[in-house]
Amino acid sequence: MTPKTVLTTGYSAGGIGSALAEAFKKAWNTHTAKSMYEMNVWGMFRVTQAFAPLVIAAKGTIINISSISPCVHTPWMGVYTGSKAAVTAITDTLRLELAPFGVKVVTVVTGAVNTNTLSNGEIAARARGEDGTPPMEPSVYAEKVVADILQGANWQIWRGGYASIVRFTSNWFPASISDLMSARGTGLDVITI
């Protein structure tokens, strides 16, 4: 597939044209999207497939990290959301497939956790959970997830900032309410045509 190109006019060093060229250069691209699926979906898939015989023999537990993002439709995060939706679907199906072998498979549905995953910027700040509920510290998140697993969790664990709220609203409210809440503060809530 031919890469997309952009022609900017009024180009002068330090001007609007050069700023646009740099912004387009940094913009999300297909390679970045494929890389996210490679890491979040196919990486998880390959590791699970490679270790499945050992986990089955030990009647162990497989734990995959997902996200609340497929439940909240966060603007500008469609590729990440899609990859985590795939993780959840694959893990939930694997849970059923491996149950006859005595293997537990758990999806950790993760909310806002204070990590260095995202760069700065308004959209990234929203994705990090910096728009109200403080994100959970990684050590607190890890301790809670481990405690849940050791106490016998065998389906989904919801941890991190917003996780409980998203779990409740995604089960009890129409998607339109979640969409309104997600769009608020992104600029999408004020666009008119």
| Active site positions, annotated | 80, 84
Give the residue among 66, 70, 71 at the shortest CA–CA distance from 44. 66
Whose tokens are 């959301």? That residue is 81
Instruction: Report d(CA 168, CA 141) in Å as an integer.
Output: 19
Token pair for residue 122? 């308004």
CA dihedral 114, 120, 125, 128 (to 10 degrees): -30
Q: How many CA atoms lie within 13 A of 124 on its CB side?
A: 8
DSSP run (H or E) holding 98: helix 78-98
